[in-house]
Chains A and B, each alone.
Chain A
């Protein structure tokens, strides 16, 4: 075999037609394999029916001041808290330099009374406590994550603990005065 190759050896570089065929075959095979890998991997991404479950509507007229409800959006809890005047005041009066993830309270709400947040701790995805009267709300009156001890304030902003970011504000709109659509 080696002799056959040598007999066909080309001039300067030592490259033969056989080498060219070999390398191009390997290259085409590698690209083909990579193209086959994509459908396999992409099949693991969220499917069309999962993506289509993207909006949730709920009413807010039954929520008393100081109380809140949890609704489910995309399989995740969404916290809806009807804030008291004191809670709004506390959220608005915070010095930005005290915040690990500085955000103005006004930029986190549409109507100041209704704080709407994705109820998932930005550390490792636990659900913070604080939606029920009996649950601990942490040192800043908002929410407390029991898993690794993150404290959120009355605007859902991270104040202390390992979580890197504020509780996320989902995309939502007031369909009417009493109805909200999330998503």
Chain B
């Protein structure tokens, strides 16, 4: 009896012969994907990002069933979701705060990659796919913020679409094309809704490419050295369980905000219906755009401001070549480690400046921050690779822990 295959085993084999999807998943995030055994908790954030994306797509699908994408009705339909639709408030707060947590998780994921040099050869395309995901996230989040059609929705949309008017010669035509009219209006809301529904699925597609590119060299690790087969463990159950713990912690924090501080990352002006004739005295984007917004406002020229704004993201695409050091992990690069934390502090400082009116001290600080941001990539990283003497690398992941203590 025990040698006989169970009915489940037979069903599995029958299905595998026809569509080997279960074994495929096992190779992607299961027992057949060997991952370095020394991954720390910073390596949780890829899985956590996937969880947030799933939460956003699911809540978004159900919100769409009660939302009306029309300039006259959008604001009221969002309020109806909050007041009348069963559990509408929890769906909306999960969705709006979910976007914030998606950015928190992804920004940590990106800083993890920068600290441990995960963008370096042979993972440049993996890094690019991640940056494309970040760009799509920004576009999706921006268009989603327009949908409730409050004052911040309207004026945020106006300011950001007007960035394109800085393009020489065709700028005004490009902006009219984006708006479908002469100002942000119903056609704009309609197309933003269409694209806000589409882009998350495009993100899912690029996530597939991101994971595919990850599986060619395999995961980087905190030591940044190649992991020998003996230094790897199967992703399942080792990292599925470690990630599950991380998901539990993430959900605790996320739902604490959803239930007890759901508007803490929003702006009260967005509870005022959009008014095309009154600009709020102080327009601020959502927090995850603030560092880039500070860079935009730090430059006193419109075209140059937009160029630096776009450049602050585009420069990340060439990061693998700007960083001339062949040592990946900051663990073995004491000077780089210092510059990394200065850079992280600069990004936080820029975020603060972006939230303040563009005058006085915040304006001065945002100009210093903008200079440091670009200097980090254009000067510090290339030069550090030549000047810095890295600490000796261990020959294997096991070596440092197997060596007897001195």
Residues of A within 8 A of B (CB): 41, 44-47, 50, 70, 72, 74-77, 123-127, 129, 146-149, 162-164
Report the nearest B residue to A77, measured CB to CB: B277
Tell me, in angstroms, the Cα distance from A169 to B301 when the chains sit together: 22
Tell me, in angstroms, the Cα distance from A149 to B185 when the chains sit together: 25
Tell me, in angstroms, the Cα distance from A161 to B256 when the chains sit together: 42
Evaluate contact between A124 and B182: CB separation under 8 angstroms. no
Report the nearest A residue to B166, measured CB to CB: A164
Q: How far is the CB of B358 from chain A (nearest CB, A)?
A: 6
Tell me, in angstroms, the Cα distance from A61 to B191 when the chains sit together: 41
Residues of A within 8 A of B251 (CB): none
Residues of A within 8 A of B178 (CB): 44
Contact for A126 among B159, B181, B359, CB less than 8 A = B159
Known: A44-B191, A124-B158. 7 other contacts (CB 8 A): A47-B187, A74-B182, A75-B185, A75-B276, A76-B182, A126-B155, A164-B303
**Mask of B147-171 contacts with A, CB within 8 angstroms, 1/0:** 0000000010011011101000000
Most chain A C-beta atoms within 10 Å of own C-beta, residue among B178, B302, B357: B302
Q: Decide yes or no: A164 and B191 within 8 Å by CB, A124-B163, A127-B279 being known contacts.
A: no
Q: Decide yes or no: A46 and B182 within 8 Å by CB, A147-B279, A148-B297, A162-B300 being known contacts.
A: yes
Report the nearest B residue to A125, measured CB to CB: B162
Evaluate contact between B359 and A149: CB separation under 8 angstroms. yes
Contact for B183 among A44, A47, A74, A164, CB less than 8 A = A74
Evaluate contact between B283 and A147: CB separation under 8 angstroms. yes
Evaluate contact between A50 and B181: CB separation under 8 angstroms. yes
Most chain B C-beta atoms within 10 Å of own C-beta, residue among A45, A123, A124: A124
**Interface assignment of B9: CB less than 8 Å from any CB of chain A:** no
Most chain A C-beta atoms within 10 Å of own C-beta, residue among B161, B187, B279, B359: B279
16 contacts between A and B (CB under 8 A): A44-B191, A45-B176, A46-B180, A46-B187, A74-B181, A75-B182, A76-B276, A125-B165, A126-B283, A127-B279, A129-B279, A148-B297, A149-B358, A162-B299, A162-B300, A162-B305
Evaluate contact between B279 and A50: CB separation under 8 angstroms. no
Report the nearest A residue to B301, measured CB to CB: A162
Residues of B within 8 A of A77 (CB): 276-277
Residues of A within 8 A of B179 (CB): 46
Q: Decide yes or no: A127 and B277 within 8 Å by CB, A149-B358, A149-B359, A162-B305 being known contacts.
A: yes
Evaluate contact between A164 and B302: CB separation under 8 angstroms. yes
**Interface assignment of B282: CB less than 8 Å from any CB of chain A:** yes
Residues of B within 8 A of A148 (CB): 297, 358
**Interface assignment of B201: CB less than 8 Å from any CB of chain A:** no
**Interface assignment of B65: CB less than 8 Å from any CB of chain A:** no
Tell me, in angstroms, the Cα distance from A148 to B305 when the chains sit together: 12
Tell me, in angstroms, the Cα distance from A126 to B357 when the chains sit together: 14
**Interface assignment of B229: CB less than 8 Å from any CB of chain A:** no
Contact for B182 among A50, A70, A123, A147, CB less than 8 A = A50
Evaluate contact between B281 and A146: CB separation under 8 angstroms. yes
Residues of A within 8 A of B283 (CB): 126, 147
Tell me, in angstroms, the Cα distance from A53 to B359 when the chains sit together: 39
Q: How far is the CB of B139 from chain A (nearest CB, A)?
A: 15
Residues of A within 8 A of B301 (CB): 162, 164
Residues of A within 8 A of B182 (CB): 46, 50, 74-76
**Mask of B258-287 contacts with A, CB within 8 angstroms, 1/0:** 000000000000000000111101110000
Evaluate contact between B159 and A125: CB separation under 8 angstroms. yes
